[in-house]
Amino acid sequence: MNLLNQPTISNNGIVRPTYAEIDLRRLTANYRAIQQHVAPANVLAVLKANAYGHGLVEVAHHLARLGVPYLGVAVLEEGILLRECGITTPILVMGGILGNQIPLFLQHDLTITASSVEKLTQIDATAAEMGKLARVHLKIDTGMERIGVHYYSAESLLETAVNATHCHIEGIYSHFANSDAADLSYSQLQLGRFQQVLAFYEKRGLPAPPLRHIANSGAILQLPESHLDMVRAGILLYGVYPSPEAARTVPVQPALSWKSRVVYFKVIQPGHPVSYGSTWQSDHMVRAVTVPVGYGDGYFRAMSGKAQVIIRGKRYPVVGRICMDQVVVNIEWDSAYNGDEVILLGEAENGVAIRCEELAAWAGTIPYEILTNINTRISRVYIT
């Protein structure tokens, strides 16, 4: 087992004991399982929001080594960073753009999302001025109402694309709103709308439509008819299912574990409240430990009174309010020592686990927000 990018060492030579551990072997297995499930469609690996908390640059390099054909990010800055770090794989920036950003897309060979006739015209004109050929994917809104030309007025965008002189229209795509739900009727409606738009190419007698993609993680699992030429694997790639309702048709395992260590042990007398607001106290003497993690790291304060951690293979409750940098754990009368590993998210050797879905339930949110809120104060350690 090789550990890359060890946790950051501070000026006094002490390593902070709270870190995220990324198992790249699991990421590899997840990618290959998705690839096999959707074949012959290709897989675009979604790396937005710091690769769902897993580390943008490190994950991109790993996926590039695997031969992933396409990467996806949300904003221009993410794409530029990957180019500056040596990633040469095609990168689709899926968010909306401003006209003054277009030269940066072209300078860094990033694929642009054209979501309107006006945007596509700007892209074509800028590429002509710079003497470049812009790589473009057209965005169709089939029912999300975020960005993209509406499906019922998309023909003008497609006509403009046919006549563009400095754009390579490589792809056309849309996005599902509810593909991870048990009821797939709205997703099927969206897919039908997308297919209506794609009929333009046959009506015009064009040889073939551009690269077609609409399937996200939920649709990868539940809507095989939507896989088309390419799918966009987001949270599923990292081993977390997009919702409790989504069918588990692709076997994946979480690639990220979040760990810390005991830094303080104490005995708490009955009637002595713990942490801010004095919201919890025991009616009997207990042993407790302090763990250096808090909402300043993305360990949500909303989990106060609900969260649990694993110490020595056993789950224990976090008691009192979660602080910015520390939490207190009640171990009753069990034993724990300074330096003992604390699993905040992940699995112990005996199989006892805390899943991302549990943290999300405790915080009243979704797994996506748990992963993407593990912030940069938490160092990432990579297992290969």
Active site annotation includes 299: no
Cross-strand partners of 4: 382
Helix (H) or strand (E) holding 38: helix 24-38
Catalytic residue, chosen from 152, 264, 276, 337, is 276
Concatenated DSSP letters of 306-338: T-EEEETTEEEEEES---SS-EEEEEET----T
Question: Three-state secondary structure along 137-151?
Answer: EEEEECCCCCCCEEH
Choose among 227, 161, 158: nearest CA to 199.
Answer: 158
Q: Which of 48, 119, 139, 259 is catalytic?
A: 48
Q: How far is CA 53 from each of CA 168, 234, 376, 379, rounded to the nearest angstrom? A: 32, 12, 9, 11
Q: Find out whether 373 and 300 touch, Cβ atoms under 8 Å.
A: yes
Active site residue 139: no
Strand pairing class (134-141; 167-173)? parallel
CB neighbour burial string for 205-230, b if at least 16 within 10 angstroms, e if fewer: eeeebbbbbbbbbbbbbbbeebbbbb
Q: Round to whole Å and give the CA distance between 184 and 176.
A: 10
CA R_g for the chain: 24
Amino acid at 109: D
Question: 357 Cβ partners below 8 Å, 6+ apart?
Answer: 240, 241, 244, 367
Burial class (CB in 10 A: 0-12, 13-18, 19+), 199: exposed
Q: Supply the residues annotated as catalytic.
A: 48, 276
